[in-house]
């Protein structure tokens, strides 16, 4: 399987000043992201997950370690500005604050911004902008002012701006953190559509468990290190580990975990509430029949 992103032994330190000591934000972080996959990076605020994102987008340079994007080494001294520009054409980023990443005062002009920077011909930009807006369901807002949109709509405009550049990988840096439940739902649906239908590689940085549960793979960060990785089922089967890292597990997992502790034989890797109920019902019935 082809890897879109490969990270090896990444370390990153924020240098202190005055009486503020150095902070080691990343320590020996290694992982790979397969092409077309949906990876969630989970961690509490200050766990190093946003530093990781800024390194992946070549906004910060790591102290040591290597980052490969589509097999090309992007860290070290030999990396030229063209290499960075080239990598940015492939890996896009959607940030946390929907207001601070929209450049133009008309939606479609903003979506066009990235394509314009790539120097594409006008007709091509027009086509891509229309497609991108269609893809995120914002076509009818093309001539609107972004200021009047809801948070979720603004984030979808930002996503359209990234997909219009035809990137094969998008990193979402806590893009849902500032949204209301409706906005979060809109953005998550868009992300899943991009991943499942359009085949875009997605890296979702979040502290919402329900969102991470929808990924193919979860990487849990804590104290600048990778705490654990695996499928959501594997990761959430160890609630104590996550609680210790100041994180939560979905309520379904918590209930199953408590039932298991109470002696019920249940699986822990279930996030759907109906499946969860079915699993508990099954186990309870099994137990009741055993008792009889």
Partner 1 sequence: MKMDIAFGQYCEGNSILHRLDPRAKLIISIIYIVVLFLAKNVFTFALLTLTTMALVILSGISLRVIAGGLKPILFIALFTAIINIFFFTGDTLLVDLKIVKIYLEGLFNAGLIVLRIVLLIVSTSMFLTYTTTPLALTDGMERLLSPLAKIGVPVHDFSMMMTIALRFIPTLIEETGKIMNAQKARGADFTSGGLIKRARAIIPIIIPLFVSAFRRAGDLATAMECRCYTGGAGRTRMNVLHAKWYDFAFVLAVTALGAAVVLMNIYLPGYTVTM
Partner 2 sequence: MAEIKLCDVNYIYNKGTPYEAHALKNINLTIGEGITGIIGHTGSGKSTMVQLFNGLAKPSSGSVLLDGRDIWEKSERVREARFRAGLVMQYPEYQLFANTVYEDIAFGPRNMGLSEDEVNKRVIDAARFAKVPEGVMNRSPFDLSGGQKRRVALAGVIAMRPEFLILDEPAAGLDPGGRRSILGGIKEFGKASGTSVIVVSHSMEDMASYCDRIIVMASGKIIMDGTPAQVFSRYNELIGVGLDVPQITRVASALAEHGLDIGRDVYTVGYAAGKLSELFDK
Q: How far is the CB of 97 from partner 2 (least distance, A)?
A: 10
- CA gap 169, 158 in Å, rounded: 15
Q: How far is the CB of 269 from partner 1 (least distance, A)?
A: 35
User: Judged by CB under 8 A, how many residues of this single chain contact partner 1?
Assistant: 39
CA 170 to chain centre: 8
Give which of partner 2, partner 1, none residue 274 binds (C-beta under 5 to 8 Å, depending on kind): partner 2
Task: Note whether 43 binds partner 1 by CB under 8 A.
Answer: no
Cβ atoms of residues 75 and 66 within 8 Å? yes
**By CB under 8 A, what part of segment 146-205 binds partner 1?**
146-147, 161-162, 165
CB of 113 to partner 1, least distance (A): 6
Q: How far is the CB of 170 from partner 2 (least distance, A)?
A: 21
Residue 173: beta bridge partners?
205
| CA 156/CA 140 separation, integer angstroms | 13
Enumerate binding residues for partner 2 (CB under 8 A). Answer: 20, 43-46, 150-151, 177-178, 180-183, 207, 209-210, 246-248, 250-252, 254-255, 258-259, 262, 264, 273-274, 276-278, 280-281, 284, 287-288
Q: Which does residue 116 touch among partner 1, partner 2, none (CB within 5 to 8 A, set by kind)?
A: partner 1
Q: Tokens representing 215?
A: 């990924």
What is the C-alpha radius of gyration for the chain, rounded to an integer number of angstroms? 21
Q: Where are the beta strands (DSSP E) in the chain?
A: 3-14, 23-34, 38-42, 64-69, 72-73, 91-94, 169-173, 201-206, 217-222, 225-230
Q: Tell me how many helices (H) and strands (E) the chain has.
A: 11, 10
Q: Taking the complex as a whole, how short is the minimal distance between the CB of residue 41 and partner 1, in angstroms? A: 17
Pick what 177 binds: partner 1, partner 2, none; C-beta below 5 to 8 Å, kind-dependent: partner 2
Beta strands at 3-14 and 169-173: parallel, antiparallel or unpaired: unpaired
Residues making contact with partner 1 (CB under 8 A): 57, 59, 85, 88-89, 92-93, 95, 97, 99-106, 108-109, 112-122, 125-126, 129, 145-147, 161-162, 165
């Amino acid at each position: 399987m082809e890897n879109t992103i490969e990270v090896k032994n990444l370390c990153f330190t924020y240098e202190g000043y005055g009486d503020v000591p150095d902070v080691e934000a990343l320590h020996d972080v290694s992982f790979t992201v397969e092409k077309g996959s949906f990876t969630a990076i989970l961690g509490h605020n200050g766990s190093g997950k946003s530093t990781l994102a800024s390194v992946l987008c070549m906004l910060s340079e790591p102290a040591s370690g290597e980052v490969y994007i589509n097999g090309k080494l992007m860290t070290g001294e030999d990396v030229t500005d063209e290499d960075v520009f080239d990598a940015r054409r492939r890996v896009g980023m959607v940030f946390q604050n929907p207001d601070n990443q929209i450049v133009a005062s008309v939606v479609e002009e903003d979506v066009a911004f990235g394509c314009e920077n790539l120097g594409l011909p006008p007709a091509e930009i027009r086509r891509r902008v229309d497609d991108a807006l269609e893809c995120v369901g914002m076509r009818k807002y093309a001539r609107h002012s972004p200021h009047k949109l809801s948070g979720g709509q603004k984030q979808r405009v930002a996503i359209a701006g990234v997909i219009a550049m035809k990137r094969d990988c998008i990193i979402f840096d806590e893009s849902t953190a500032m949204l209301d439940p409706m906005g979060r739902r809109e953005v998550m649906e868009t992300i899943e559509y991009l991943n499942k239908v359009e085949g875009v590689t997605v890296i979702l940085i979040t502290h919402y468990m329900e969102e991470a549960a929808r990924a193919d793979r979860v990487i849990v960060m804590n104290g600048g290190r990778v705490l654990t990785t695996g499928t959501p089922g594997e990761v959430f089967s160890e609630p104590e580990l996550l609680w210790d890292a100041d994180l939560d597990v979905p309520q379904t997992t918590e209930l199953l975990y408590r039932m298991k502790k109470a002696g019920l034989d249940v699986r822990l890797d279930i996030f759907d509430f109906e499946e969860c109920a079915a699993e508990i019902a099954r186990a309870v019935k099994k137990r009741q029949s055993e008792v009889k």
